[in-house]
């Protein structure tokens, strides 16, 4: 009996090299043809080759930025895949299992799951002389389960392998064998047990947060990038290496994170909009240079794509445990801004804003991502480039410099931001040092000067408070119970609020996009609620601690924490809140 589906979740798992991610890509293309919004994720180890690998796909009629509560269709290439992922399959779900290596393991699936055991790896070797063709065999079976036209399945295979014509025919042959198997099991074309909805799709792009951020930085005028490969930030280095030269810029793969941040710092000192990107271990190494940017008042943007720590931690797993380091890291007191993106659109928009803010405060600005936001893909509307504005801050041209007469690089101003002449401009000479200095940049330990310079630098963030990016609100704002989180929590919080609302539990939601300085809207939101659930992926509740540090009582805030490297599902988060409600 065919059932219609408008929210579809799939997983493909096996060993690295099995082609799990290829199947997810092909299946995603099939869903896109039917107008679905897409979200893709992956669960991989940190080894170079092999090991358990899973690709995940969600197709929905409304945009989502997270997986659903259960898997509708699971393609498992080996027993380990069943052991690790079988419990996630819905009670009325389907498992297509490659039995080439042995029978299906017992005890990992619900009783209502339909299982198709097919030795398609062995069949691919027998008929096509290559095991990897099992992917197209499996896709043929899955497309029949989903009542997708055979011609559409053939079309996505042809498109996928168009650059390698020699692979098109064998993959099509494997697909046809998958169709034949489906025919034998009462799944003729157009008669599958699941029928996916089909609507006309609007314009959208499928993009990761890393690529969206990198594109945003290019649009914002970043023309120097230095980085060192590190999961999950490496794609930003890859993107810049491929594209920045076409815009007159330079991308450098440095020998380590220390070199990367100091190269970016040197480029920024010349007036070039500069960027570096890394993850938690790299941020740890960059702290001295970021402090230097704060002291020497040099514009610098740093992306932190967080992963599970401490130390090397779990490089391919998501966490949000760098929040305290970004806000308080580095020696001494200096102003900095910390922004947090919750999805690809945020990543693009905040990349532009971060670049402009670094110019305005002449200091460091962090853009905080996490592995989920960085590397998962989602469909979003095309970015509107017509709204982009470039803000150079208080940068002097030659005429303005001539009018000043005596140029003081660190002149004390009401808002703390000093007029800035680029190196090489006549009569614009200045000294740059990491030592405390006077208005001309000369080293000074005179007490009155020290106080004046510290106060001057501190005023810079106060001057931009009204222009810091606001957060996203959702749910019932009139509710006395709130939920708050950033980054990877953004999408799942929205779904959780919808889920609880259907049960009569109303929540007000806020996804802040400015973390530091803590904006007035965040302060007001927390203060207006009798209870606020602060959702984060770390052990110590770092975001809640930051809110407490600016005056909020822990009596009204309740942390919901997770630190196993796996994102919340809506039902899981809802259950945690229900437990809190009951308590």
Per-residue pLDDT of 486-504, as tens digits, reads 999 999 999 999 999 999 9
Kindly report the number of other CB atoms within 10 A of residue 427's CB atom.
12
One domain, residues 449 and 477:
no
Which of 369, 332, 357 lies closest to 465, judged by CA? 357
Burial of 352 (0-12, 13-18, 19+ CB in 10 A): buried
pLDDT band at 580 (very low <50, low <70, confident <90, very high): confident
Q: What is the 3-state secondary structure (H, E, C) of 70-85?
A: CEEEEEECCHHHHHHH
Query: Residue 7 forms beta bridges with which residues?
Result: 60
Same domain? For 309 and 259 the reply is: yes
Query: Which range among 5-14, 65-74, 121-130, 254-263 shows the weakest confidence by mean pLDDT?
Result: 121-130
CATH number reported for the structural domain that contains residue 26 in this entry: 3.40.920.10
Is the confidence at residue 255, as pLDDT, over 90?
Answer: yes
Give the pLDDT score at 1. 64
pLDDT tens by residue, 407-434: 999 999 999 999 999 989 999 999 999 9
- Indicate the average pLDDT of the chain: 95
How confident is residue 131, by pLDDT bands cut at 50, 70 and 90? confident
Phi, psi (deg, nearest 5) at residue 422: -70, 145
* Residue 76, domain member (yes or no): yes
Instruction: State residue 48's pLDDT score.
Output: 66
Query: Of 450, 465, 480, at which residue does a domain stop?
Result: 465
Query: Of 348, 364, 387, which residue is a domain's last?
Result: 387
In this predicted structure, what is the pLDDT of residue 582?
Answer: 42
Same domain membership, residue 109 and residue 85: yes
Query: For residue 201, is it within any domain?
Result: no
Instruction: Report how far residue 397's alpha carbon sits from residue 401's, in angstroms, rounded to the nearest whole number.
Output: 6
Residue 575 predicted with pLDDT over 80: yes
Report the run of H or E that residue 579 belongs to, with start and end. helix 570-582
Q: Using an 8 Å Cβ cutoff, are 287 and 329 in contact?
A: yes
Q: Is 61 helix (H, G, I), strand (E, B) or coil?
A: coil
Task: Give residue-wise pLDDT tens across range 205-215.
Answer: 999 999 999 99
Residues 52 and 161 in one domain: yes
Q: Is pLDDT at 553 greater than 80 in this prediction?
A: no
Specify if 202 maps to a domain.
no
Tokens 């006549």 -> residue: 426
Give the end-to-end CA distance of the chain in Å, rounded to a whole number. 43
Residue 19 domain-assigned?
yes
- At residue 579 the predicted structure's pLDDT band, cuts being 50, 70 and 90, is confident
- 276-294, pLDDT tens digit by residue? 999 999 999 999 999 999 9
Residues in the chain: 583
pLDDT in tens, 178-204: 999 999 988 888 889 999 999 998 999
Domain that holds residue 564: 472-582
Average pLDDT, integer, range 398-404: 94
Neighbours of 248 (CB within 10 A): 7
Are residues 181 and 258 both part of a single domain? no
| 177 and 61 within one domain | yes
List the helix and strand counts (H, then E) for the chain.
Answer: 19, 22
pLDDT digits (tens, 9 = 90+) for 31-58: 999 999 999 999 987 776 678 899 999 9
CA atoms within 13 A on the CB side of 469: 27
| Pairing of the two strands 52-60 and 7-15 | antiparallel
Predicted pLDDT of residue 45:
79
Task: Name the domain boundary from 335, 354, 387.
Answer: 387
pLDDT category at 529 given cuts 50, 70, 90 is very high
pLDDT given for residue 583 in this prediction? 37
| Tally of domains in the chain | 4
> Can you give the CATH number for the domain in which 516 is found?
3.40.50.920
Cα 353 to Cα 16, 309, 339, 340, 365, distances in angstroms? 38, 28, 9, 11, 10
251 and 371: one domain? Answer: yes
């Amino acid at each position: 009996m065919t059932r219609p589906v408008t929210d579809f979740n799939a997983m493909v798992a096996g060993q690295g090299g099995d082609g799990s991610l290829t199947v997810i890509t092909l299946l995603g293309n099939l869903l896109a043809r039917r107008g679905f919004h897409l979200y893709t994720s992956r669960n991989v180890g940190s080894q170079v080759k092999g090991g358990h690998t899973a690709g995940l796909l969600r197709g929905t009629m409304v945009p989502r930025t997270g997986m659903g509560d259960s898997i509708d269709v699971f393609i498992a290439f080996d027993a380990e895949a069943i052991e690790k992922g079988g419990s996630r399959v819905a009670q009325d779900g389907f498992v297509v299992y490659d039995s080439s290596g042995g029978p299906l393991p017992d005890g990992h699936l619900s009783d209502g799951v339909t299982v198709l055991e097919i030795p398609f790896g062995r069949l691919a070797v027998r008929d096509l002389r290559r095991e990897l063709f099992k992917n197209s065999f499996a896709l043929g079976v899955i497309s029949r389960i989903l009542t997708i036209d055979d011609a559409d399945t053939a079309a996505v295979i042809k498109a996928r392998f168009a650059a390698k014509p020699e692979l098109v025919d064998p993959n099509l042959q494997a697909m046809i064998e998958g169709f034949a198997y489906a025919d034998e099991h009462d799944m003729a074309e157009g008669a599958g047990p699941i029928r996916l909805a089909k609507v006309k799709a609007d314009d959208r792009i499928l993009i990761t947060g890393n690529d969206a951020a990198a594109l945003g930085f290019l649009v914002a005028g970043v023309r120097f990038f230095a980085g060192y490969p590190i999961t999950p930030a490496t794609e930003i280095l890859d993107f810049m290496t491929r594209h920045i030269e076409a815009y007159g810029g330079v991308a450098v793969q440095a020998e380590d994170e220390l070199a990367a941040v100091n190269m970016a710092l040197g480029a920024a000192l010349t007036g070039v909009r500069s960027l570096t990107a890394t993850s938690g271990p790299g941020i740890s190494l960059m702290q001295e240079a970021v402090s230097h940017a704060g002291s020497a008042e040099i514009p610098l943007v740093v992306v932190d794509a967080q992963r599970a720590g401490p130390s090397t931690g779990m490089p391919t797993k998501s966490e949000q445990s760098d929040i305290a380091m970004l806000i308080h890291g580095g020696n001494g007191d200096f102003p900095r801004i910390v922004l947090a993106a919750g999805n690809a659109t945020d990543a693009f928009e905040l990349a532009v804003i971060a670049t402009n803010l670094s110019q305005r405060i002449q200091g460091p600005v962090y853009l905080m991502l996490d592995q989920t936001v960085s590397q998962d893909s989602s469909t979003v509307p095309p970015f509107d480039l017509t709204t982009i504005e470039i803000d150079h801050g208080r940068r002097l041209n030659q005429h303005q410099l001539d009018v000043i007469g005596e140029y003081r690089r660190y002149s004390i101003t009401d808002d703390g931001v000093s007029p800035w002449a680029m190196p090489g401009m006549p009569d614009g000479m200045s000294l740059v040092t990491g030592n405390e200095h006077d208005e001309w940049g000369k080293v000074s330990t005179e007490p009155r000067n020290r106080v004046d310079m510290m106060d001057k630098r501190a005023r810079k963030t106060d001057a931009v408070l009204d222009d810091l990016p606001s957060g996203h609100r959702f749910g019932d704002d009139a509710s006395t119970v709130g939920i708050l989180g950033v980054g990877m929590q953004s999408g799942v919080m929205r779904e959780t609020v919808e889920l609880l609302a259907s049960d009569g539990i109303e929540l007000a939601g806020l996804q802040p996009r400015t973390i530091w300085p803590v904006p007035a809207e965040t302060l007001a939101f927390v203060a207006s609620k009798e209870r606020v659930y602060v959702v984060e992926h770390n052990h110590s509740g770092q975001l809640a601690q930051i809110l407490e540090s600016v005056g909020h009582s822990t009596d009204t805030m309740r942390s919901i924490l997770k630190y196993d490297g796996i994102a919340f599902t809506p039902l899981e988060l809802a259950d945690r809140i229900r437990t809190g409600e009951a308590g």
